[in-house]
Amino acid sequence: MVLEFRDEGIYCPAGRFHIDPWRPVDRALVTHGHADHAYEGHRHYLATHAAAPVMRHRLGEIDLEGVAYGEVRDIHGVRVSFHPAGHVPGSAQIRIEHRGEVWVVSGDYKTTPDGLSEPWEPVRCDAFITECTFGLPVFDWLTDAELAAQIDDWWRANRATGRHSAIGAYALGKAQRVMTMVDASIGPILTHGAVENTNAVLRRQGVALPDTIRMTPETDLKAHPGALVVAPPSALAGPWLRRFGPVSTAIASGWMALRGVRRRRAADRGFVVSDHADWAGLNMAVRETGAERVFATHGYTAVFRQWLEEQGYDAQIVSTEYGDELLETEEAEV
Amino acid sequence: MKRFADLFTALDRTTRTLAKTAALTAYFEEAPDADRLWTIALLSGRRPKRTVNATRLSEWAAEVAGLPMWLFQASYDVVGDLAETIHLVLPDAEAAPDRSLSEWIADIRALAAQPEPDRKAWILRSWTELDGAERFVFNKLITGGFRVGVSQKLMTRALSRATGVEEAELAHRLMGNWTPETTSYAALITAPDPEADLSRPYPFCLAYGLEGGPAELGPAEDWIAEWKWDGIRGQLILRGGQHHLWSRGEELMTDRFPEFARAADFLPDGTVLDGEILAWDAETRRPMGFSALQTRIGRKTVSRKVLAEAPVILRTYDLLEEDGADLRALPFAERRARFVALIAALPPEAPVALSPVVDFAAWDTLAPIRETARAAQAEGLMLKRKTAPYHVGRKKGDWWKWKLDPLTIDAVMVYAQAGHGRRANLYTDFTFAVWKGEELVPFTKAYSGLTDAEFRRITHWVRRNTLARFGPVRQVPPEHVFEIGFEGIQKSTRHKSGVALRFPRMLRWRDDKPVAEANTHADLLQMLEQYG
């Protein structure tokens, strides 16, 4: 086996490195900077140049080496390269080649371009380890243009009735995607501190984002009527939101496709914005890798495995400690 | 259907009562009468009869979507709603001319008379003609389940604003046996004939739970206390030589409880009583417990044997109509005096009996009486203000239920299953066990009682601590103790533990308690002995 599934994470015995391990290891190859993939405590990190600044911002002083997309590294005779995953800026799939056999670890990925993340590319391989957070045929994303129109309409209508529009979106990735997707000419965009800190990191590395205003206790809200407020979802549930007065709330998440989950969140609106692949995206990705063996990790693994098996793949389930989008968006992030 | 789908979307999108009322009022002001009538019906639980069965619909949707049946089913398990699952898996529709809600419903009802191939063709065509919220609403109509998060009270308020008819009066007009097929908007709302429906019940007066003690309710002498019975709330109507029995959920239960046919032998025509239906032991003159009554619930026809083993009576605690006159505005003490006069002297074979007053001198003497409720086969006390009218629906201030604290037991979580619908991506359905020697014996499931944050925490843990999978069920290591609360305990031959609990739920996550200190099977059996 090129890769093994161990208690501490996915391991390459020949190359003596781990991929997205959740317990401290010697050498970790990390697909992207979300907390359930980039854990603290490893001795040495390897990630894309574009993922590195956010990881440093979150994990502090770490021994982190950057690598370009497509650049091939030799680690103890194992050829390793990182390829765009389209999930968040800097996110990667990791290709591992040993003695002519190629494995790919997808990390989290989204197959449709969003104008912000490096667009996903299929990577041919023999074995593909894929997430399947939204691995059910009920998940079928709208295009970004359709989503943008929905969010713009909501924002405009709120502004017309003298209300602010507060949208809950994960601080890394989703928040920036929302602010680049909307029509910034509608009004000002205010940001929660956690979002603005990530914005600052991304702007420094050259990611183009619209102008935003960081919310502080001193911010005069009357000076910004009808603003779009971008905050982590947890902030929408807390006292932070109260100072806005009349405000309409929304959550941006793939889970908003389900009416029940939308209602549980008790926000006024739920926009189906996801940085994961939908059902069609997952199937397309698996097909395009040309892999015969597929390992399903976090998400609807049992369903997706059975489906793949019926499509003629050698499919298995692997337990990992990667979170799912819901837990990401619902857990506090400061 | 577009207007109705827009209303549905507006109601579904907001949690604000004001916004919901405004959307409904605007709809009732604009929509044609036939659509108004159907909307009132749908929002008060009067759905068109199912004309296509759920299995066929699932098969057709899976076929159109190109999915194997097991995958459709797995999706349905997560989504938790058939109409929504179908809507989500179907390909996008093409636009078609708009037709009204009542026209669509007429077509759906006409399906009943058609052979299956025609039904299928019509449904498949409709799926291609309706998009977005319209298709979802359509699926809701054909699957017969329609819940919008709008209470009947809110709907009544909006209708009152749109029509100018007073809210309480409307609430009464909307009660009873009508369907859009048997009435018209005018006959129901604008010009009703009070004689048209002799079975029409009054809206039930409902109580709030009393938090803390009764001391804040003011002087004890202003109040009457009664036992709170553990049965089925019922309204018995004797009018025009006939009798009708209604449940609180506005279900007509007359045929299910034939005992009440004899009520007319003991009570005058033009009488309406409110009370609790209880399985009744005529010899001891005591209720038989909910397990006996359970043999009568859900049965449309009752066998002689069941009838003999669990006969029921109505323990009366209010009088809403006497000699055909609506008494609801009278003070409760006055209504009570009137029904005592009607019922107190009835012979034991009458199917109605009095729910007695629980005498007490002061609030602090009532608390210890409440503690004896289980011995009296009650769930606690009801407190009613002597001067109170019989309100429409739930209104704070005059009626309070003061229930006993639940029975509790500390149990170990052993299995977890994901919820569906609102809880689609969380583990919320758990099986709990108690110790029997070294072994853990499962004895109950519970689904509710934790906060969303706690459900997320336990979900996180379940995902990382799965020992085995049995379909959707995951076995987890015995590491977490929960305090389980329940209202009653019965012997059960269906469960390995030998007991069945009534209303089990999680009261607390006992983070502080080691697994070894959870309760034992012997503790359960002792509770069965004491309370069963």
B84 in contact with A at a CB cutoff of 8 Å? yes
| Domain co-membership, B346 together with B265 | yes
- Looking at residue A305, which CATH number applies to its domain? 3.60.15.10
- The residue out of A254, A271, A288 marking a domain boundary is A271
Render A199-218 in DSSP notation, one character per residue.
Answer: HHHHHHTT------EE--TT
**Of the partner residues A136, A268, A327, the one whose CB lies closest to the CB of residue B14:** A268
Provide, rounded to the nearest whole percent, the portion of chain B with pLDDT above 90: 63
CA dihedral B411, B412, B417, B419 (to 10 degrees): 40
Residue of A nearest to B9 (CA): A269
A264 touches chain B (CB under 8 A): yes
Residue B272 vs residues B149, B263, B312: alpha-carbon distances, Å: 31, 11, 18
Is the same domain home to A70 and A156?
no
The strand pair at A228-231 and A164-168 is best described as parallel
Please say whether the beta carbons of A29 and A47 come within 8 A: yes
Both B464 and B376 in one domain: the answer is no
CA angle B263, B269, B271 (to 5 degrees): 80
For residue B229, being part of any structural domain is answered with yes
The answer to whether position B166 is within a domain reads: no
User: Are A121 and A196 found together in one domain?
Assistant: no
Q: How close does chain B come to A165, measured CA to CA in Å?
A: 14
The pLDDT tens digits of the residues spanning B182-232 come to: 899 999 998 877 777 788 899 999 999 998 889 889 999 999 999 999 899
With CA atoms as reference, the chain A residue closest to B456 would be A327
| A183 and A106 co-located in one domain | no
Asked whether the beta carbons of residue B422 and residue A260 sit closer than 8 angstroms, the reply is yes
Distances (CA, A) of B59 to B53, B68, B87, B140, B143: 10, 9, 13, 17, 13
Residues A58 and A179 reside in one and the same domain: no
- Which of the four pLDDT bands, split at 50, 70 and 90, describes residue A19? very high
| Distance between first and last Cα of chain A | 39
Based on the fold, state whether residues B503 and B433 are members of the same structural domain: yes
Q: Helix, strand or coil for residue B427?
A: strand
Query: Is B151 part of the contact surface with chain A (CB cutoff 8 Å)?
Result: no
Boundaries of domain holding A131: 4-138+276-330
Q: Which of B64, B73, B88, B452 to mutate to test the interface with A (most CBs of A within 10 A)?
A: B88
| Most B-contacting residue of A259, A278, A297 (CB-CB within 10 A), to test interface | A259
User: B252: which DSSP letter?
Assistant: B
Based on the domain organization, do B42 and B115 belong to the same domain? yes
Spatial separation of the C-alpha atoms in residues B293 and B257, rounded to whole Å: 11
Residue of B71, B136, B466 best to disrupt the A interface, most CBs of A under 10 A: B71
Q: Which amino acid is at B420?
A: H
Asked whether residue A244 falls in the same domain as residue A120, the answer is no
Determine whether the interchain pair B466/A319 forms a contact, defined as Cβ–Cβ distance below 8 Å.
yes
Number of domains in chain B: 3
pLDDT for B259 equals 94
B270 and B282 part of one domain: yes
* Boundary (domain end) residue, out of B347, B382, B403: B403
Q: Search chain B and give the residue with CA nearest A299.
A: B425
Q: What is the number of residues in chain A?
A: 334
Task: Please list, in sequence order, all residues whose beta carbon lies within 8 angstroms of the beta carbon of residue A15, skipping any fewer than 6 positions away.
Answer: A75, A76, A77, A78, A80, A96, A98
Cα–Cα distance between B418 and B458 in angstroms, integer? 11
Let me know whether B71 and B17 are in one domain: yes
Ranking A242-246, B369-373, B420-424 by mean pLDDT, the lowest is B420-424
Residues B384 and B433 in one domain: no
Alpha-carbon distance of B274 to B279, in angstroms, equals 16
Q: Tell me the two tokens of residue A159.
A: 């502004």
Tell me: pLDDT of B38 over 60: yes
Is A331 a residue whose pLDDT tops 50?
no
Report the C-alpha gap between B160 and B245 in whole angstroms.
28
B422 touches A: beta carbon within 8 Å? yes
Residue B14 belongs to domain with CATH number: 1.10.3260.10
Do residues B240 and B376 both lie within one domain? yes
Give yes or no for residue B308 having a pLDDT over 70.
Answer: yes
Q: In 3D, which of B244, B309, B317, B323 has the Cα closest to residue B279?
A: B309
Q: Which of residues B380, B403, B426 is at a domain's end?
A: B403
* Average pLDDT of span A101-122: 96
Q: Do B13 and A268 lie within an 8 Å CB cutoff?
A: yes
Question: Does B114 reach chain A within 8 Å, measured CB to CB?
Answer: no
Select from B348, B376, B403 the last residue of a domain. B403
Helix (H, G, I), strand (E, B) or coil at A253: coil
HEC states along B375-409? Answer: CCCEEEEEEEECCCCCCCEECCCCEEEEECCCEEE
Residues 85-104 of B with CB under 8 A from A: 85, 88-89
Which of A261, A269, A307 has the CB atom closest to B425's CB atom?
Answer: A261
For residue B401, pLDDT over 90 is answered with: yes
Taking CA–CA distances from B466, the nearest residue in chain A reads A319
User: Is there a single domain that holds both residue B307 and residue B215?
Assistant: yes
| Same-domain check for residues B235 and B281 | yes
Q: Which ranges constitute the DSSP H helices of chain A? A: 52-59, 144-160, 174-181, 193-204, 233-237, 259-265, 279-289, 301-310, 325-330
Provide, as residue numbers in chain B, all residues whose Cβ is less than 8 Å from the Cβ of A306: 70-71
Higher pLDDT, B45 or A67: A67
CATH number of the domain within which A191 lies: 3.40.50.10890
Query: Are residues B414 and B363 part of one domain?
Result: no
Q: What does residue B227 show for φ and ψ, rounded to 5 degrees?
A: -70, 145
Length of chain B: 532
The pLDDT-based confidence of B167 (bands split at 50, 70, 90) is confident
Q: For residue B249, which phi and psi values (nearest 5 degrees)?
A: -85, 20
The DSSP result for B49-78, as a single string, is PP-S-HHHHHHHHHHHHT--HHHHHHHHHH
B382 by Cβ neighbours in 10 Å (0-12 / 13-18 / 19+) ranks as: buried
Complex-level ipTM beyond the 0.90 threshold: yes
CB contact under 8 A, A258 and B424: yes
Q: How many angstroms separate the CA atoms of A220 and B342, rounded?
A: 69
Report how far residue A180's alpha carbon sits from residue A170's, in angstroms, rounded to the nearest whole number: 14
In the block, tokens 């309706």 appear at B130
How is residue A135 written in tokens?
A: 């691995």
For residue B360, give both structure tokens.
Answer: 């007490």
The pLDDT tens digits for A273-283 are: 999 999 999 99
Max CA-CA distance within chain A? 65
Contact A138 B89 (CB under 8 A): yes
Which among A259, A269, A326 is the nearest to B425, CB-wise?
A326
Residue B32: the pLDDT is 95
In sequence order, the β-bridge partners of residue B70 are none
CATH of the domain at B398: 3.30.470.30
The Cα–Cα gap between B530 and B532 comes to 6
**CB atoms near residue B340 (< 10 Å):** 15
- Across the interface, which of A264, A303, A306 has its CB nearest the CB of B422? A264
Instruction: Report the alpha-carbon angle B417-B423-B428, nearest 5.
Output: 35
Domain count, chain A: 2
Report residue B221: phi and psi, to 5°: -70, -10
Is residue B155 situated within a structural domain? no
CA B24 to chain centre: 24
Is B362 in CB contact (< 8 Å) with chain A?
no
pLDDT at B83 over 90: yes
Kindly list the distances between the CA atom of residue B19 and the CA atoms of A109, A256, B13, B138, B363, in Å, as whole numbers in the listed order: 39, 21, 10, 24, 42
Q: Is residue B137 part of a domain?
A: yes
Decide: B399 and B208 in contact? Cβ < 8 Å.
yes
Can you tell me which residue has the tokens 């108004």? B36
The CA distance from A32 to A10, in Å, is: 15
Answer yes or no: is pLDDT of B471 > 80: no
Contact B79 A138 (CB under 8 A): yes
The torsion region of residue A330 among left (phi > 0), alpha (psi -120 to 50) and beta comes to alpha
Same domain, A256 and A303: no
The predicted model gives A181-200 an average pLDDT of 96
| pLDDT attached to residue A333 | 27
The pLDDT tens digits for B511-529 are 888 999 999 999 999 999 8
Say if A213 is an interface residue toward chain B (CB within 8 Å). Answer: no
Q: Between chain A and chain B, how many beta carbons pairs sit less than 8 Å apart?
A: 71
Instruction: Find the CB nearest B71 among A137, A259, A266.
Output: A137
Q: Which residues of B touch A303 (CB under 8 A)?
A: 71, 74
* Shortest CA gap A281–chain B (Å): 15
Domain residues for B383? 205-403
C-beta separation of A325 from A298 below 8 A: no
Answer with the residue of higher pLDDT: B30 or B252.
B30
A330 pLDDT tier (thresholds 50, 70, 90): very low
Helix, strand or coil, per DSSP, at residue B171: helix
Reduced to 3 states (helix: H, G, I; strand: E, B; else coil), residue B414 is: strand
Question: Is A109:A31 a contact under the CB 8 Å cutoff?
Answer: no
Query: Do residue A303 and residue B71 have CB atoms under 8 angstroms apart?
Result: yes
Closest listed residue to residue B462, CA positions, set B408, B420, B425: B425
User: Which residues have a Cβ under 8 Å from the Cβ of B146 and sit 6 or more positions away?
Assistant: B42, B47, B140
Nearest-CA distance A261 → chain B (Å): 5
Mean pLDDT of A242-247: 85
Q: Do the domain assignments include residue B185?
A: no
CB pair distance less than 8 Å for A268 and B469: no
A contacts of B452 (beta carbons < 8 Å): 264
- Whether A90 and A16 map to the same domain: the answer is yes
Cβ-Cβ contacts under 8 Å, B70 against chain A: 306
Q: Is the pLDDT of residue B466 over 90?
A: no
State the average pLDDT for chain A.
92
pTM: 0.80
Is the domain of B255 the same as that of B394? yes
Pair A17, A126 in one domain: yes
Q: Does B149 touch chain A (CB under 8 A)?
A: yes
Structural domain contains residue B346: yes
Tokens coding B287: 């209720």
pLDDT at A323: 62
Query: B78–A327: do the CB atoms touch at under 8 Å?
Result: no
Regarding beta strands A127-132 and A228-231, do their DSSP bridges make them parallel or antiparallel, or are they unpaired? unpaired
Residue A219 in this model has a pLDDT that exceeds 50: yes
Domain closes at, from A224, A243, A271: A271
Strand order of the sheet with strand A127-132?
Answer: A73-75, A78-84, A92-98, A101-105, A127-132, A293-299, A314-317
Average pLDDT of the residues of chain B: 91
